[in-house]
Amino acid sequence: MAQYIFVKTRNNSNMLEKLECVCELLTPDEIKKTSDNFVGKWGGKFNSYYAIQNSKGVELENNGALLIGWVDEINSIYKDTTDINGSYAVIKDFKNKLSFFCDQFGSRTLWYYLDNENFIISTSQRAIVALKNSFHLNKESIAWYLSAGCQGPFISWDKNIIQVLPDFQYYFDDENWSISSIKKKDLLLPKPNTTKKAEFINFFEKKLKKSLLDIIRKNNEEKKLLPISGGLDSRLLLGLSDDLKIINNLDLINWGVKSNLFDDKKAATEISKFYDKELIDIYLPEKIEVFDPMLNNFVAQSEGRIDHFNAFTDCFNLWKSLNQSNYKIIIRGDIPYPTGLHLNDKQARQKIGLEKLSDFMNFNHPELDIYKNLQTHCDLSRYTDESLIRWRDRLYASWRVPIILAGFTQLMSAYSENRTPMMDWELFKEYMGLPDKNKGNKLHIRELWGKYDKTNISDSAVPSLKHMTDYFNTKEGKEYLLQGLENLTNAELLGKNFIKEVSGKLAANKITKKTKVSYISKFKIFLSKKLPPYLKYYLKSKQPMYLSYVAVAYRLILVDKIINLYVSDSNSMNKVRN
């Protein structure tokens, strides 16, 4: 996915030059020589401009419409509708106004900003901060990043930048220089037991096949990658591709660290051998030699949306090499169909990745009270007569996908274009009409997987990525965290006494080396698989929540870097002559 910027201005002084500079700003150093950027006027409109960073292979503005991502039917974006299937955001001229919106999952994020001089829409918060030449920190994002490792529910790091909500269509009226919005139509999900299992499975199968064929045909000249693991989702896409005779149009890839267990890497190796396909098998570092460059690079690419750096510990060298090898399309198995259950609001927040500071027993420092009070109330309550499974699915689609999964897309945005065939609102609506007994934990995906995956390779592989805290569970990692906490440039803002408390706890913790999976861990895994779901999650709901001080420490360091990044971005246009 490229980065996109649209600007309507009352002062067009050097706007094309500014957009060139923004594209340069957003392009990682590793691919500056190979990244093609586009800057131009919007459809001949007066004082309207747009830019696309890494524009090779993506659609430019056409007939007053810009598609970001992909849709089932391209002509649908020109119609008076938001009922469009795909994973996308759209900016288009509409009835003398500019309309902009994203898909119902919010899987492609848009941000907007309006002042007396400029109206800006972008997939990048950093681009808007640079163009408006100022940064006004939203302290609520600090609170959420510390507690949940994300910037929070539909908020930006800059309090003057607004996130486009998936449920709304927005309009900019340049005559009145104002923004309005309306609730999208047809958002109601069907009642349970209104979809028949056999009909849904057939519909799901046909829709995925159509999407895969479209991806291959519409991007015939682009090299395409399918990340493969031991999980059901990617293996189903691979099995369908084999059945459609398009498997030779795809290259397979897997990345992770070395392991002695049957993990995603070993599963991917066996699967690729079965299909007689070469596997691009990438080994990520088992330890981080130099932390600062890696974290700086991660913060720049993530724009502070999430803290999951464990897949990018090679400083994005994997993505650099893929870009330089001309891989422009990544087909991912992202899905809005979750597993597990939650029985109360706190568990729900944990499931979707929006834990609050007050959820953790070890976040009682008085300097955090101001941040606790800032955290927005998220209405995650269960509807009357809503089953646990339906509650789980609804929250996952409306919160987890647009806040967390869309953040993962952001991480790859400067390097590649993502295609996610299962991320389809039409499919999700039909799925929500199924009886609960036919949903479970991806039962429809498992059934199709059983039909198309003939490898007989186990689907119980363990993840091949290390947890973020594991990288700091070394002498060097601990020293880096302690030194980093001591050198925070925003220590006063983050709470000096709280930082001292975290440093003290961290210094007192002993480094533990994991060698083998303990008998206790094995027993817990055994119980997790054997206990009835409701009992398992009931027991979990009774356990108090604690956040490791290692996680708190690296999040404090990341927040400091994020703030410094945006402050730097806000000054980046000073070199452009006004």
Domain spans, the chain: 3-187, 471-564
Backbone angles phi, psi at 209, to 5 degrees: -60, -45
Separation CA 11–CA 117 (nearest Å) = 6
Identify the pLDDT of residue 401: 95
Separation CA 375–CA 404 (nearest Å) = 17
Q: Which structure tokens are listed for 199? A: 């009909």
Neighbouring residues of 159: CB distance < 8 A, sequence distance ≥ 6: 136, 137, 138
- Say whether 499 sits in a helix, a strand or coil: helix
Please provide the average confidence, as pLDDT, over all residues in the chain.
91
Identify the pLDDT of residue 335: 86
Do the beta carbons of residue 340 and residue 351 sit within 8 Å? yes
Sequence-ordered alpha helix ranges (H) in 329-424: 345-352, 369-374, 388-395, 406-412
Low-confidence ranges of the chain (pLDDT < 70): 1, 511-530, 534, 577-578
Q: What is the CATH number assigned to the segment(s) 3-187?
A: 3.60.20.10
Q: What is the CA 65 to chain-centroid distance, rounded?
A: 25
Neighbouring residues of 315: CB distance < 8 A, sequence distance ≥ 6: 293, 294, 297
Q: Please write the tens of the pLDDT for every residue from 228-284.
A: 999 899 999 999 999 999 999 999 999 999 988 899 999 999 999 999 999 999 999
How many C-beta atoms lie closer than 10 Å to residue 486's C-beta? 11
Separation CA 208–CA 215 (nearest Å) = 11
Identify the pLDDT of residue 2: 85
Identify the pLDDT of residue 218: 79
Identify the pLDDT of residue 515: 47
Do the beta carbons of residue 410 and residue 163 sit within 8 Å? no
Q: Please write the tens of the pLDDT for every residue from 487-525.
A: 999 999 999 999 999 999 999 887 665 545 455 555 555
Identify the pLDDT of residue 35: 82
Confidence (pTM): 0.94
